[in-house]
C-alpha cells in the first residue's frame, strides 16, 4: 500500500525525534510512503536577503515529517527503509545554502570571543540534471536524506543531532537505491525524516548543504528480532555501519566496531580476522563534522564478505 | 640523474625526521632516486611467531631512508615529489601485519587499566597482482608511501608521527602517478621516506597495514618561493591538502582550510566561494586514526577549480 | 512554604529531563522542597554480589525526582536553587560504588574489541562524619547533587547526560551552601534532580561516585528575565560557570566563555580584560570525564570581580 | 656544589628539548643551579606597543636554558628536581602578557577563516608582594616553572609542546617547595628549563600567563633505576602525576593512570582499589589547554596513600 505524508497529513512538523509525539501516519510492514519534506529552514529563507538567524531560531529548525507508526514494531526489531526516489519541488531557485553566524567547521565557534560570521545566503536552481552554482560550476544532482531516525524509549533528541537513533546524520550515502536499517526502541518504531540535500561534500563543511524541499519515496519493512545498536546501510556493492559521536575518531571507532559485529554475526567472520580485513579494505565516508555529533559511515565491499558466507 | 639510496648508501636508518642528521645523499632538482626501503619492523618480524614487541622497541621503529639534501632548497621553498613506482622486494611471504599490544583504534588504549591485546602476526604473499589474505580474499596491490617528510628547523619528529612536515601520514593516496608537495623549512629540504604499504583501508584500523620492504622510485624537483603550511598532493583529477592533528576533526579542518587557501591563491577563488564549493563538492580521505596524530586528505576534483582559472 | 517530594508524591521516577512529563509538584517562587532521592541504581544494588548490569538497564538508570513546576516561570527566566542540606538515608552500608562493564575513564570503551571490565561493587558506611572506605581510609562526607536540570522546549535528555540544561553534571561544587542558577526554557521551568553523591573526586574517574539515597532540601526562586545559556553557581567566595561538552577542552571553553559574559554583563568588565584576568586567576574544576558529555566549572574568586562593580 | 647558568654560560638559548644540542653545563647529582631564564618572548616585547608577532617568530620562541648534563644519568633513571626559589628580574614593568593572533582557547583557531585576533600587550609590575594588574586587582605572586623537561633518545621536541618528557606543561604546581621527577631517556638526562610565570590561572586561558625573566634556583639529584613514563610531582601534602595530550580527557587519563601505577608500585595498592580511591578522592589541576598538547596534573593527598604503606 502507498501512503502520502504531506503538509495536511503531517500537521505540525517535528523538531525532535522521540516517543512523545503522536503518530501522524500508521503503516504496515511493506508499505511505501510519499513524504513531502520541507527544507531545513522550513522554506523561510525565500531570498538571498533573508538572514537565517532571523527566521530559523533554535530549537525550531530542521522540521521533520513523522512519527510514522509501523504496526507490530517492538523494541529489539529493526526497520528496513528502502529509499526509492527523491525529487526536488517548488519554484526555482529551489536550493538554498548559507554561512551562518556560529556554524561550520571553519567559522568561529560559539565559544570564541570573536565576532559572528557574516550571514551569506546563496540560492540556486536545482534540476535532475544538476545544481547550478555559477556559470562555471554545476554540481551533480545527488540527493539524499539528511535526517532520518527512530524514537528512543525515553529521550527526544532534537532534530539537529545525529546519534545511535540515526537523526541528522547528513551522510551522502542515503540515496535512492540504498537501504537503511534503523533500530526499533519504542513501540511502533516511530520513524521521522526530512532535511533533503540536493548534493553535499564530505563533512558538510560550512554546515549547510544545498537544502531543498522534496517529495521522497520510501518503502518500510519490519525486520523482527534484529537488534541494532547503530544504523546500517546497504547498497548494491557495499555494507556500511554508521556511527555518530564527537570527537570524530570516536564516530569512526563506532562505525568500524559495528561493522565488525555485522561481519561476525551475519557473515561468520572471526572477530580479529574482520579487524584485520577492515584495516586493509575498509573505507570511511565522513558525513558531517559540523552537527552536535559527527557522523561517519564505515563500509566494506560485499565481494569481500560474501565469499566468506558459504 | 638517477641515484640509488640503498642499505649501503643509507647506513643507519633514521627514526626521526629533522635537521640533526647528516644527509646520506645530495641531489639536484630534477633528479630521480631509487630508494630501498625497509618495512616498519625493519624486517625483524620474520615469521608469524615473532612478537612485534620483542623486536620493535620504541623509539627505534619505522626506519626511514634519508635525509636527502636537495641543492638550493631554502626555507620558503617547496619540494615536488613525483612517485614513479613502488615494487615489493624480498622472499614470500613478504607482507606483514599485526595486532599490537596497545595500538589500533579498537584495541585497549595505553592509558586503560585493561590487559594488553594479544599480539597476532599475519604474513602474506604480495605480488603485483594482489595481496593474498586467504583462500577467499585477495586485496588489490595498491602500494603507497606511508611515511615521507621534510625537516623542521628546530624539531626532530619521531618517525611514527605525522604533522605539518608530512611524516607518518599513512595516506593511501601517495601512490605511483601522484605528486606530493612538501614544505622546505631547513636548508637542503632534508627529505626522508619509508614505511611502504602494499594496501591499506581508510584509517589503518588496527594500526598496521600490509607492511613491506620496497624499491620506490621518486623524482624530486625544487619549487622556489612556494611557502606551504601543510603537505599537498596532486594527481590526474584532483588537488588535495593533507592535515594531521588530533582530534580527527581538527585534521579535517586543517586540510580543508589549506585547500581553500590553495583555491584562493592559485586558482583565484573568493575565500567564501571556495568555502561554499567545498561544502558541496569537497571529499575527505581518512588516512590514519591510529598514529600519535591523525591524517586526512581533503580534495576537490580539478574540473571544478580549473574552469575558474581562465 | 515547604513541600515534600517523596516516593508517594513522585510516583514514577524520571529517566529523562524534558518537557514531556507532567509535573509532580507545583511550587511558588521562594518555596522550599524536601526531596527524597534514590541512588543512581534505584536502590537495586543491595549487596556487593549484585551486578549493576543485571539491575540497571539503559535507559532506565539514574532515576530523577520531578518535574517541579514553578509558577510564573517562562522562557528567558532563570531558576535560583539554594542547596540547603543533604542527608544520607537508609540502612548501612548505604553507599555504593562500582566498576561497570564499559564505563569509566580507564576501562575499555564500548567501541573496543576487548572484553568488558569485571563488575566490582563496593558498599560502604556513610555518616555525616565520613565515608568509611576501609580500615585506613575514610573520605570526608562532602555530599552534592549529581544531577539537576531544567527542561528544554523540544528535547528530553536522558538522565545520564549533562548539557546546557544542567543534567548529570556530577560537579562536586553543588553542595549545601551553594546556589545554582538554571535557565528556564519551557513554561514552568520543570526542575528535576537526583543522583546524590556522598563524595567524589575530580572527574568521577571510574564512572561511579559514592552513590546514596538522600533527603535533599532545596529552596527555589524565580529570577525573571535573566537569560542563561549555561548553568551558573555561586557560593560565598566564588562565581562559577558550568560547561558540558566533549572533548573536555570544549567544556572548559564553554565555561570560561560564559564566565566572561557574566563578568561583562553583571560586573562591568571589558571583554578582553575579563579574558586576561581569567588567564591569570581563573580556576577550573573537572566535574566528570565519564558521562556522554564532560562537565567542568570555571570560576573566579568574588574578591576580583566585586572590586570592579563600584 | 652550586652552578650558575646565565647568558654567558648558556650561549644560544634552545628552542627545543632533545638530544642534539651540546650540554651547556655538566653537574653531579646533588648539585644546585642558579638558572637565569628569559621570558617566553626572549625579552623582545619591551613595551605595550610591540606586537608579539613581529618579534617572536616560530619556531624561535620560548627560549630555554640547557641542556644540563647530569653525570651518570642513563636511560631508565630519573631526575629529581627540587625547585628552591624563583625571583623576578629586570626593570619594572617586568611582567608581560598578550593576546596573540591565533592563540588561546577562546580566540580564532588557526584553521578558521576568520580574521586574526587583535594583538594586545599588557605589561605589569611584579614584586614578591604581587602582580599589579590595575588599581583594583593585584594577583598573588605565585611563580612557577612553565617549561622543564629532559631529552628523548631520538626526537627533539619544540619548546612550546609538553609531552611525556615534560616540556611546556604550564602547570602552576611546579613552584618553589615542590619536587619534580623527570624520566631520563638519553645519556646525561639533558635537562632544559625556562618560561617562568609570575602567576597563572588554570588552563592559561588566552595562551600567555604573566611572563617574566627570572633567577630560578633548583637542585638536581639522580635517582637510579626508576623508570618513569611521565613526569611526577611531589610536595608536602600531595603526590601528582602529570599527563599531556589532546583531547584534554586523554591528558586526564594519562595522569590518573600514571598515578594509579605510582600507588601500586610505591605504596602497595591493589590496582582496582587505587582506581576506586581516586574516583572518590583524586583531584585534577588543568595546567594548559592552549599549547599543542594540553597538560593536567592528577593528585591525591599523601594522607590517603601513606596509611597504606605500613
Condensed to tens digits (0 to 9), the pLDDT of residues A46-66 reads 999 999 999 999 999 999 999
CB contact under 8 A, B253 and D111: yes
pLDDT at A310 over 70: no
Residue B123 near residue B26, CB atoms below 8 Å: no
Q: What is the pLDDT of residues B109-139, one digit of tens each?
A: 989 998 888 999 999 999 989 999 999 999 9
Q: What is the pLDDT of residues C145-195, one digit of tens each?
A: 999 999 999 999 999 999 999 999 999 999 999 999 999 999 999 999 999
Which fold does the domain A2-223 belong to in CATH?
Jelly Rolls (2.60.120)
Q: What is the pLDDT of residues D61-100, one digit of tens each?
A: 999 999 999 999 999 999 999 999 999 999 999 999 999 9
Q: What is the pLDDT of residues A244-260, one digit of tens each?
A: 999 999 999 999 999 99
pLDDT at A308 over 80: no
Smallest CA–CA distance from B271 into chain D, residue: D113
* pLDDT at site C197: 98
* pLDDT at site D310: 60
CA quadruple A161, A162, A166, A171: dihedral sign: positive
Contacts of A139 in chain B (CB under 8 A): 280-281
Contacts of C99 in chain D (CB under 8 A): 272, 275-276
Residue indicated by cell numbers 608521527: B161
Residue D193 near residue D64, CB atoms below 8 Å: yes
Cross-strand bridge partners of residue A37 = A214
Number of H helices and number of E strands within chain D? 5, 21
Task: Give the HSE-up count for residue C254: Cα atoms under 13 Å, Cβ half-sphere.
Answer: 23
Contacts of A99 in chain B (CB under 8 A): 272, 275-276
Closest-CA residue to C165 (of C146, C145, C185, C141): C185
Average pLDDT of the residues of chain A: 97
* pLDDT at site C115: 87
* pLDDT at site B307: 79
Q: Give the pLDDT band of residue C309 (cuts 50, 70, 90).
A: confident
CB contact under 8 A, A155 and C59: yes
Q: Which CATH number fits domain C232-308: 3.30.360.10, 3.40.50.10420, 3.30.1490.20, 3.10.28.20?
A: 3.10.28.20
Contacts of A257 in chain C (CB under 8 A): 111-113
List the grid coordinates of D37.
631564564
Residue C122 near residue D276, CB atoms below 8 Å: yes
Pairing mode of beta strands C232-234, C211-212: unpaired
Closest-CA residue to B295 (of B140, B104, B155, B146): B146
Segments of A11-165 assigned E as strands = 16-17, 25-27, 32-37, 65-70, 78-88, 95-99, 120-127, 130-132, 138-139, 144-150, 157-158, 162-163
* pLDDT at site B115: 87
Q: Give the pLDDT band of residue D307 (cuts 50, 70, 90).
A: confident
List the grid coordinates of B210.
600490509
All residues at 6 or more sequence positions from D180 whose CB lies less than 8 Å from its CB, including other chains: D80, D81, D83, D145, D148, D166, D174, D231, D232, D233
Q: How many CB atoms lie within 10 A of CB B238?
A: 18
* pLDDT at site A28: 98
Residue B56 near residue B25, CB atoms below 8 Å: no
Closest-CA residue to C246 (of C283, C291, C209, C309): C291
* pLDDT at site A36: 98
Of D120, D136, D296, the CB nearest to C308: D136
* pLDDT at site B188: 98
pLDDT at A193 over 70: yes
Residue indicated by cell numbers 611525556: D164
Phi-psi region of A170 (alpha: psi -120 to 50; beta: other; left: phi over 0): left
CB contact under 8 A, C108 and B106: no
Of D206, D275, D281, the CB nearest to C279: D206
In this prediction, residues B77-103 reach a mean pLDDT of 97
Q: Where are the domains of chain C?
A: 2-223, 232-308
Average pLDDT of the residues of chain D: 97
Residue B145 near residue B195, CB atoms below 8 Å: yes
Interface with A, mutate which of B109, B133, B198, B205 (most A CBs under 10 A) = B205
Q: Does D120 touch chain A (CB under 8 A)?
A: no
Q: What is the DSSP string of D123-161?
A: EEEEETTEEE-SSS-EE----EEEEEEE--SS-BEETT-
Q: Does D146 touch chain A (CB under 8 A)?
A: no
> What is the spatial distance between Cα D197 and Cα C281, in angstroms, rounded to a whole number?
13
Contacts of B283 in chain A (CB under 8 A): 201-202
Of C107, C112, C247, the CB nearest to B113: C107
Contacts of C108 in chain B (CB under 8 A): 108, 112, 114
Least-confidence region, from B112-116, B209-213, C19-23, C49-53: B112-116
Instruction: Tell me the H-state helices in chain C.
Output: 7-10, 52-55, 248-267, 271-281, 302-306
Q: Give the pLDDT band of residue A12 (cuts 50, 70, 90).
A: very high
Of D106, D139, D289, the CB nearest to C257: D106
CB contact under 8 A, D107 and A117: no
Whole-angstrom Cα Rg for chain A? 19
> What is the spatial distance between Cα D145 and Cα D37, in angstroms, rounded to a whole number?
10
Q: Does A115 touch chain D (CB under 8 A)?
A: yes
Average pLDDT of the residues of chain C: 97
* pLDDT at site B114: 87
> What is the spatial distance between Cα A242 and Cα D248, in angstroms, rounded to a whole number?
26
Of C107, C114, C247, the CB nearest to B247: C247
In this prediction, residues D161-171 reach a mean pLDDT of 98
CB contact under 8 A, D114 and A111: no
Residue indicated by cell numbers 628547523: B153
Dihedral over alpha carbons C175, C176, C180, C186 (to 10 degrees): 100
Q: Does D232 touch chain B (CB under 8 A)?
A: no
Q: Does B109 touch chain D (CB under 8 A)?
A: yes
> What is the spatial distance between Cα D140 and Cα D128, in angstroms, rounded to a whole number?
8
Q: Give the pLDDT band of residue A224 (cuts 50, 70, 90).
A: very high
Q: What is the DSSP string of C197-250?
A: ES---TB-TTS---EE-EEEEEEEEEETT---SS-EEE-SSEEEEEEEESSHHH
CA angle B275, B280, B284 (to 5 degrees): 85
CA separation, residue B148 to residues B62, B259, C111, C295, D153 (Å)? 11, 20, 31, 40, 21
> What is the spatial distance between Cα C122 and Cα C105, in angstroms, rounded to a whole number?
18
Amino acid at each position: 500500500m502507498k501512503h502520502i505524508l504531506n503538509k495536511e497529513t503531517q500537521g505540525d512538523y517535528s523538531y525532535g525525534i522521540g516517543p512523545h509525539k503522536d503518530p501522524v501516519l500508521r503503516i504496515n510492514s511493506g508499505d511505501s510512503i510519499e513524504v513531502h519534506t520541507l527544507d531545513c529552514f522550513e522554506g523561510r529563507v525565500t531570498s538571498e536577503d533573508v538572514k537565517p538567524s532571523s527566521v530559523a531560531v533554535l530549537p525550531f529548525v530542521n522540521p521533520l515529517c513523522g512519527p510514522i507508526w509501523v504496526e507490530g514494531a517492538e523494541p529489539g526489531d529493526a526497520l528496513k527503509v528502502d529509499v526509492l526516489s527523491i525529487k526536488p519541488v517548488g519554484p526555482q531557485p529551489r536550493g538554498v545554502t548559507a554561512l551562518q553566524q556560529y556554524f561550520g567547521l571553519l567559522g568561529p565557534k560559539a565559544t570564541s570571543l570573536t565576532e559572528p560570521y557574516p550571514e551569506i545566503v546563496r540560492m540556486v536552481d536545482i534540476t535532475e540534471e544538476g545544481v547550478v552554482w555559477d556559470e562555471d560550476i554545476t554540481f551533480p544532482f545527488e540527493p539524499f536524506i539528511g535526517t532520518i531516525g527512530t524514537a528512543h524509549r525515553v529521550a527526544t533528541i532534537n532534530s539537529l543531532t545525529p546519534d545511535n537513533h540515526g537523526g541528522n546524520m547528513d551522510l551522502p550515502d542515503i540515496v535512492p537505491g540504498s537501504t537503511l536499517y534503523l533500530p526499533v526502541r519504542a513501540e511502533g518504531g516511530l520513524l521521522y525524516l526530512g532535511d533533503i540535500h540536493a548534493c553535499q561534500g564530505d563533512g558538510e563543511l560550512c554546515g549547510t548543504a544545498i537544502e531543498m524541499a522534496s517529495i521522497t519515496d520510501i518503502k518500510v519493512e519490519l525486520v523482527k528480532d534484529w537488534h541494532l545498536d547503530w544504523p546500517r546501510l546497504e547498497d548494491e556493492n557495499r555494507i556500511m555501519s554508521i556511527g555518530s559521536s564527537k570527537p570524530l575518531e570516536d564516530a569512526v571507532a563506532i562505525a568500524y566496531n559495528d561493522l565488525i559485529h555485522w561481519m561476525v554475526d551475519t557473515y561468520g567472520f572471526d572477530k580479529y580476522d574482520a579487524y584485520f580485513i577492515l584495516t586493509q579494505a575498509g573505507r570511511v565516508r565522513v558525513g558531517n563534522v559540523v552537527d552536535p555529533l559527527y557522523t561517519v559511515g564505515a563500509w566494506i565491499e560485499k565481494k569481500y564478505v560474501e565469499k566468506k558466507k558459504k
